[in-house]
């Protein structure tokens, strides 16, 4: 009996990522993926029950590596909410605007009309991250930093504000790149709207403006 290892699983995920990115979900095959990994289809299926399961795990593997540290940092910065969300917003939007993340989103959207990939992707990935952000916002509401409201709705609206000027233009092919300077200003505008809607005091709105300024600026 062959023993499954984490190293082998990681190798499969890396190889599958390349195949999916090149061929798309529909064009990729478990046979091709097993060929790239240098193993057999039987070995591949011992780790992943289906191509759908492998696809979702590939997408989440890359996202978790990038997003988990960002979420941890957000939860640790509780003194200056505007600064914390500005830094977090820039980091997250920067990742979501990367070529790999945009291509992943397109693959998921393209396949969602034909299978439950979209739902599975959401349940096992974005939903978890959104819940962590909602928990963070709920804590800020309990501390009087934000007005009392539905934390998950606030999270959804914050996500929409962060993506509307950045991710969406890239996703639709309207833009081809999103420089850090544009991301910084887009995040600043998104947070100003968010804080206005959720009752940030005027003095903390002023902190938000300072948080978006480059280091060393008077």
**Average pLDDT of 112-116?**
78
Query: What gap in Å lies between CA 74 and CA 89, rounded to an integer?
Result: 10
CB atoms within 10 A of CB 12: 22
Classify residue 209 by its DSSP letter: H
Distance CA 194, CA 89 (A): 12
- pLDDT of 95 > 80? The answer is yes
Other Cβ atoms less than 10 A from the Cβ of 71: the count is 18
Mean pLDDT of 48-67: 82
The alpha-helical segments, DSSP class H, found in 143-216 are 151-164, 167-171, 180-197, 202-211
Higher pLDDT, 7 or 125: 7
The whole-number pLDDT of residue 207 equals 65
Most confidently modeled of 38-52, 73-87, 165-179, 196-210? Answer: 165-179
- 170 pLDDT band, cuts 50/70/90, is very high
20: confidence class by pLDDT, cuts 50, 70, 90: confident
What number is the average pLDDT over the span 99-116? 83
218 pLDDT band (50/70/90 cuts)?
very low
pLDDT class of 1 with cuts at 50, 70, 90:
very low
Report which secondary-structure segment, H or E, holds 149: none
Specify the residue for token string 């070995």.
Answer: 43
- Residues contacting 209, CB < 8 A, separation 6+: 188
Mean pLDDT of the chain: 85
Instruction: Give the pLDDT band (50/70/90) at residue 51.
Output: confident
- Is pLDDT larger for residue 216 or for residue 36? 36
The pLDDT, as a whole number, for residue 28 is: 85
Take residue 130 and report the two structure tokens written for it: 């959104």
Q: 8-12 — which CB contacts under 8 Å span 24+ positions? A: 8/39, 8/43, 8/47, 9/47, 11/37, 12/37, 12/39, 12/44, 12/47, 12/48, 12/54
For 172-214, what is each residue's pLDDT tens digit? 999 999 999 999 999 999 999 999 999 755 665 566 666 666 6
What is the reported pLDDT for 72?
86
Q: What is the pLDDT of residue 208?
A: 61
Start-to-end CA span in the chain (Å):
66
What single string gives the DSSP state of each residue in 37-86?
A: HTS-HHHHHHH-SSHHHHHHHHHHHHHHHHHHHHHHHHHH--S-HHHHHH
Residue 83 to residue 186: CA distance in whole angstroms: 15
Return the pLDDT at 206.
Answer: 65
The predicted pLDDT at position 205 comes to: 59
DSSP 172: T
Domains of the chain: 1-49 (1.10.10.60), 58-211 (1.10.357.10)
What pLDDT score does 3 carry? 57
């Amino acid at each position: 009996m062959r023993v499954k290892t984490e190293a082998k699983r990681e190798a499969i995920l890396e190889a599958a990522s390349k195949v999916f990115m090149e061929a798309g979900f529909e064009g990729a095959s478990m046979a091709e993926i097993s060929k790239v990994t240098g193993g057999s289809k039987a070995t591949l299926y011992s780790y992943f029950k289906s191509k759908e399961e492998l696809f979702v795990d590939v997408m989440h593997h890359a996202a978790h590596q990038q997003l988990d540290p960002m979420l941890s940092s957000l939860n640790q910065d509780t003194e200056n909410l505007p600064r914390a969300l500005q830094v977090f917003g820039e980091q997250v939007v920067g990742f979501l605007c990367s070529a790999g993340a945009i291509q992943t989103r397109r693959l998921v959207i393209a396949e969602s009309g034909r299978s439950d990939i979209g739902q599975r992707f959401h349940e096992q990935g974005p939903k978890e991250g959104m819940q962590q952000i909602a928990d963070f916002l709920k804590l800020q509401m309990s501390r009087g930093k934000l007005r009392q409201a539905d934390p998950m709705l606030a999270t959804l609206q914050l996500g929409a504000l962060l993506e509307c000027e950045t991710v969406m233009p890239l996703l639709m092919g309207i833009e081809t790149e999103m420089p850090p300077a544009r991301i910084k200003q887009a995040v600043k505008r998104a947070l100003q709207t968010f804080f206005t809607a959720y009752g940030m005091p005027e003095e903390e709105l002023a902190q938000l403006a300072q948080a978006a300024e480059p280091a060393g600026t008077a």
